[in-house]
Structures are given as structure tokens and as C-alpha cells.
Amino acid sequence: MTVHAIIGGTGLTQLEGLEIHQALTLDTPYGAPSADILRGGYAGRDVLFLARHGQPHRIAPHQVNYRANLWALKQAGARAIVAVNAVGGIHAAMGAGHFCVPHQIIDYTAGRAHTFFEGKLDHVTHVDFSHPYDEALRARLIAALQAEGAAFSSHGVYGCTQGPRLETAAEILRMERDGCDLVGMTGMPEAALARELALPYACLALVVNPAAGKTSGPITMAEIERVLEQGMGTIKAVLARVLSA
């Protein structure tokens, strides 16, 4: 049976309803993951859960040990990964509270340990990353969002920035010209590392704020937290549908 792993981002440091059977404290060749990997039951299925930013939420996006997280999930038995990400909306359709299942990603990060294929290698390895998200897993997320009656987009380009600061309005304009619909800080190198480990990977993104320059007022954490709280019910329902499909 496929064992799904869920990587929870901002607002999803714990999965309410998860019947925890085991907390796995794992070490990897790349150090420790962000938190214990929780093995348990959710929606009648075995599942692994990892809080990307730690538990409690304290690891900044640029300091997440993405290699350790992905390696540990595979070590724990993950065969597919659904990543939950809080993002900013660039495209006009991506208002606060809107969901998106992105189909492409552009990496604007720098200095992150982004590959397993480095150091003393027997040979250089290149992986195909033309289509970064698994289409079968994306289809299941889309079907679940439709079944929940959520406002969502079935396609989108995720632009991943370094963080932890939010972007300038000029940076968002550049990203918009590049074709980005969403902006976040944790989509890479997570997606690429999953591909290197041959783990099907897809993203469920919740827009929690308009990107810089897309609103007349400042971006506030209070507003982001409000949208996160409102969206959590849909996120959990969608995850339950994906797992039970």
C-alpha cells in the first residue's frame, strides 16, 4: 500500500485528527529533520506527518533542513508526499483564501543545500525536473478540492523566494513578468529533493495574503493567521479525501 507523507507548513504544525501510533526520532546523513516524524492513522489510512518548520513553529524557511526532512520521510517508509504551503497571491485570481495546486515552480532561492548529488560521487547525476509535480497526485488534490466546493485553481506557477522577509513590490512585479502566480518560501528545494528520491510529490497551496504591491495596505501577520485559521478545515478535509481515494 502507498504510504502518504504530509509535510505541514505554516499553520499546520500538527494534524488534528491524526491518531499517533509512533513518533520517530530519526537521524540522517544530512542531520536531523525539523521534528519527529509522526506515524499514525488519518482518514482510515496509514500516514506520516512532518512539521516543516518544527514543533513549535520556529525554523525559518531558509534554515529548514530540507535534505534531512526528505531523507527521513523516505527512511520512514513514505512513498508519496503532499506538501501544504501558505503562499502569497500574485495573479488576480489568487486572492486570500484561494487554493491552488501548482503545476510549475521557479526557484529564486540562494545558498540552500539543494541536492543529494554532491561530494564524492561515483558519477554525476541529473534528474529530469521538467514537470516538478506528480500529475496523478495533483489530479487527486484537484478532485478533492472540487468535492469540497473550494475556490481553487488547478494550475499555477509557484515562485520560491529566500525569505524570511517578505518580498518588495518590485520583486513581485519581476516575478509576475516571469509568469509566477504565487509566491512562497518553502517550495524549493523540497520539490527537487523529492524528485531525486523518486518520491511522487504535489503541493496544496493556500493563499494567505496578496503579494507585495497587490494591496493598498501593509501585509500583516494578523490577517495571514486569520486566513490560515479559516482555511484549515478545508485543508484537512482535502487531505482526508486524498488519503482515502
The annotated binding site for substrate is made up of: 185, 209-211
Q: Is the peptide bond before 33 cis (omega within 30 degrees of 0)?
A: no
> Binding site residues, as ranges?
10, 52-53, 185-186, 209-211
**Do 180 and 90 touch, CB atoms closer than 8 A?**
yes
Who contacts 67 (Cβ-Cβ below 8 Å, separation ≥6)?
28, 30, 31, 113, 116, 189, 193
Going by the annotation, the residues of the binding site for phosphate are: 10, 52-53, 186
Spell out a b/e string for 51-81, using b for 16 or more CB atoms within 10 Å of the CB, else e: bbbbeebebebbebbbbbbbbbbbebebebb
Among 3, 74, 77, residue whose Cα is nearest residue 33 = 74
